[in-house]
Amino acid sequence: MENSIQTAFTKLLGCQYPIIAGPMFLVSNELLVSEVSNAGAIGATPSLNWRKSEEFDAALGVIRSKTAKPFGVNLIVNKVNPRVDQDLQVCVKHKVPLVITSLGNPKRVIQAVHGYGGKVFCDVVDLNYALKVQDLGCDGVIAVSSGAGGHAGPISPMVLIPYLKSKLKIPIVAAGGIATGRQILAALVLGADAVQIGTRFIASNEANASTEYKNAVLNSKPEEIVLTKKISGTPASVINTDFIKKQGLELNFLEDFLIKHPSTKKLVKTLRVLLGQNLLENAAHKTTWKTVWSAGQGVGLIHDVLPAAEIVKRLVKEYWEAKNEI
């Protein structure tokens, strides 16, 4: 197996492989992040996986103690996240090498992170927002396409990646349905500089997920991944469990009206996110009939639970095998 996969992304971040273990709500933890980073990729976690900024601060201290390699933190930067400024200061304190922003305007994050030499990549689902964050000075974008877990984009990666590549001057990370090294090669051929892989790392020893959740990832099919608005008000990919089927995928008439009305939008969206997070937390860690398991279409390509470092090693091996076939 070749020693590294060099791209503009690996040169920018100083890592061995152009792979981010996607920051997953509740699932990513200190051990998963550090193990992935130590294996040569980029481990990442949402700041909101800890209930308070002080706990997030302590968690970054643990990650720093376990790895000297680059790692990442995801910050939600819109008004739904009341902790964004506190968590940003924690990132500055620990000089987090990669900050990934989701939703909202990332301007203050870019300024703060660039102040200590860190890099900022922004989640995007279309060209319009990608151009905006490029103009704000971000270092790259994460192209979230259809097939992704969590808040998936609407555009096929076969289109989104080369489309963004033709219009942007900054590195592009492909996200959505990627679970094998062969797909990493395909993404790079399409014009990506790296990939973000989430669901494959749910099925890792280190992931903060129940055995039932991990088994659901192993046993689900791509056809069983559905988009529901019941988690946050916007479409999110989940496994179509009996609870999801009973609950339905769309907001009811009143919720839909209130979430769109200017005077109630913020409050209702915040309440919906809090309710959705509670469902996800209970399902991720407990046995409950209210089963809400976030996952992407890559479930169909995942067949075993492995140590995170072994997953990285296998992805790289598969990449080189596929490349050497060409």
The DSSP secondary structure of 26-84, one letter per residue, reads TT--HHHHHHHHHTTSEEEEEGGGSSSHHHHHHHHHHHHHH-SS-EEEEEE-STT-TTH
Contact 36, 308 (CB under 8 A): yes
Query: What is the predicted pLDDT for the residue at 191?
Result: 97
Residue of 43 and 289 predicted with greater confidence = 43
Give the pLDDT confidence of 230-255 residue by residue, as tens digits.
665 567 888 888 777 766 555 454 55
**In the chain, where the domains are located:** 8-208+303-325, 214-297
Out of 50-64, 241-255, 307-321, least confident range? 241-255
Task: Output the DSSP codes for 2-19.
Answer: -S----HHHHHHT-SSSE
Q: For the chain, give the mean pLDDT.
A: 87
Q: Among 9, 71, 60, 74, which residue's Cα sits nearest to residue 36? A: 71
**172 CA to centre of own chain:** 14
Out of 128-132, 165-169, 236-240, least confident range? 236-240
Q: Which CATH architecture has domain 8-208+303-325?
A: Alpha-Beta Barrel (3.20)
Q: Among 312, 228, 304, 313, which residue's Cα sits nearest to residue 272? A: 228
Out of 22-26, 78-82, 108-112, 115-119, least confident range? 78-82
Q: Give the separation between CA 134 and CA 144, rounded to whole angstroms.
A: 16
The pTM of this model reads: 0.87
Q: Among 160, 153, 177, 184, which residue's Cα sits nearest to residue 297? A: 177
The DSSP call for residue 323 is H
Out of 85-99, 212-226, 278-292, least confident range? 278-292
Contact 32, 308 (CB under 8 A): yes
User: Mean of the pLDDT values across residues 218-237?
Assistant: 81
Show Cβ contacts of residue 302 under 8 Å, excluding neighbours closer than 6 positions. Answer: 179, 199, 200, 203, 217, 218
pLDDT over 70 (residue 15): yes
Query: What is the predicted pLDDT for the residue at 292?
Result: 73
Query: What is the predicted pLDDT for the residue at 123?
Result: 96
